[in-house]
A and B are shown apart, each in its own frame.
Chain A
Amino acid sequence: MERIPILKMGDYLLVTVQVDMHDRLATTLQEDLAERIVKSHARAVLIDISALEIVDSFIGRMLGSIAAIARVLDAETVVVGMQPAVAITLVELGLALPGVRTALNVEKGMEILRRSLAEEASGGASEAVIEESVIADAE
């Protein structure tokens, strides 16, 4: 049966969707991913959907539920590389994926994950760094 490969890299799991997702493939991915997170003790999941050109409400909901499942298993999920047309479709379908973190490309997605893992490790230290960079008064 056709499957979407899940790659492990350190604490991260990488999923790259290279084919058009059909319903069966999405449910299989959800099951596989849940299993792999538990088995490999992954802390973060990155799903690259830059090759995905067509989505329907089922796939949209699936992305949301994959992220929710990963969160329950204490792994951060970020969905990267969404095409503009896909984003518009999802919004028009009323699926804004509120619980899912997103990034423009794999690089930025990895950065988000790395930062949030570091944040967890140091107890929210990087949050404070952001607040410190105060804008000097332009006057």
Chain B
Amino acid sequence: MTPGARTTEMIKKHEAEILQDWLQRQLGAVTVRSDLMKKSELEEQSRALLSGLAAALQRGEVGDIRGPAWGPVRELLASVSQTRALQGFTPSETATFVFSLKEPLFAHLQKVLAGDAPALATELWTTTVLIDKLGLYTVESYLRSRDAVIQSQQRTMLELSTPVVELWKGILALPLIGTLDSERTQLVMESLLTRIVETGASLAIIDITGVPTVDTLVAQHLLKTVAAARLMGADCLISGIRPQIAQTIVHLGVDLGDVTTKSTLAGAFAIALQRTGLSIGRATPRTS
């Protein structure tokens, strides 16, 4: 008899009992999180996993959980770990859900194979290996869904942090906040260039007041953005250079080329107005 065949047979025969036993043990365990999950949901997940396991075992592939026979079980585990990740379960709590199946399974195996010690040892080993694999798979997909959450948050943050505002007709401002890495530069460039096309602006002010440090890499990214805007026919000014940053730029030997720089956004705006031939004047004479 192949290893695992008796387990298959046993699960098929006693599925309902095992499920009852498993549920009782899960609900009685210290790791139960009734605050995060309803009892009915846990029951549903347990039933689905056990019947999926039985179905996959029936098709006879005990060793390889990456095989096609295990497709439904993998999907189930992925969805379980995803919902649990969102519900706030820890990775070990999620994995414990799968590992806790060992206890009822082993108890039943012991009962069924009471007289046959070598067979019992083989079956126990096969089942352990199998459930370990499933548990590890669950942890992996848990981490994957967590990564997906983090990535989507990063994307949202990127979008939030790169607004392009129109200060005046033909003058755009790009207040940068946070460090500029190459991915962000790409996004900043894209949104700036798109806005240049939309508004037909001929001047853009890049304000780096919110950029904590300017090293050679950040400067290079800034210059790239300036060059790309110039290719679209828009000149760039860089404003918001704090004294500290001016010192760093000079000490590092960063060459900002022929880009006009100003310490404040107001100063850059004044230059921008001047270049577009506009001026700001006082509407009423001062009365002091």
Kindly state the interface size class of chain B when it binds its partner: 20 to 34
B232 partner, pick from A87, A92, A133, A135, beta carbons under 8 A: A87
Of all chain B residues, the one with the shortest Cβ separation from A133 is B277
Shortest beta-carbon distance, A56 to chain B, in Å?
Answer: 15
Contacts of B273 in A (CB 8 A): 135
Shortest distance from the beta carbon of A101 to any chain B beta carbon, whole Å: 8
CB neighbours (8 Å) of B281 from chain A are: 136
Nearest CB on A from B97, distance (A): 47
CA A90 to CA B201, docked complex, whole Å: 20
Select which of B224, B231, B280 is within 8 A of A97 by beta carbon: B231
A138 to B267 Cα, complex, angstroms: 11
Please classify the interface of chain B as helix (H, G, I), strand (E, B), loop, or mixed, using the class held by over half of its residues: helix
A80 vs B229: C-alpha distance when bound (angstroms): 12
B233 touching A102, Cβ below 8 Å: yes
Complexed CA–CA distance, A88 and B183 (Å): 13
Pick the residue among A80, A87, A130, A138 that contacts B228 (CB under 8 A). A87
With contact pairs A130-B275, A133-B279, A135-B280 given, residues A104 and B227 touching in the complex (Cβ less than 8 Å):
no
User: Size class of A's contact patch?
Assistant: 20 to 34
Main SS class of interface, A: mixed
Residues of B within 8 A of A134 (CB): 274, 279
Instruction: Give Cα A88 to B273, complex, Å.
Output: 27
Assembly CA distance A136 to B283 (angstroms): 11
Q: How far is the CA of A78 from the CA of B231 in the complex (A)?
A: 10
Q: In the complex, which residues 98-113 of chain A have their Cβ closer than 8 Å to any Cβ of chain B?
A: 102-105, 108-109
B231–A91 touching, CB < 8 Å: yes
- Interface status of A123 (Cβ within 8 A of chain B): no
A96 to B200, CA, bound (A): 20
A64 and B231 CA atoms in complex are apart in Å by 12
Say if the beta carbon of A82 comes within 8 Å of chain B: yes
Residue A10 CB within 8 A of the other chain: no
Tell me the B41-81 residues at the A interface (CB within 8 Å): none
Q: In angstroms, how far is the closest chain B Cβ from the Cβ of A83? A: 8
Give the residues in chain B near A138, CB-CB below 8 Å.
280, 282
Contacts of A103 in B (CB 8 A): 233
- Cβ contact within 8 Å between B233 and A135: no
Which residues from chain A contact B186 at a C-beta distance below 8 Å?
A: 88
Q: How far is the CB of B194 from chain A (nearest CB, A)?
A: 6
B-side contacts of A130, CB under 8 Å: 274-275, 277
Q: B residues near A, CB below 8 A? A: 186, 189-190, 193-194, 196-197, 200-202, 224, 227-234, 270, 273-275, 277-282
Q: Please give me the 7 A-B residue pairs with the lowest Cβ-Cβ distance, nearest first.
A: A84-B193, A103-B233, A96-B227, A87-B231, A104-B233, A136-B281, A102-B233
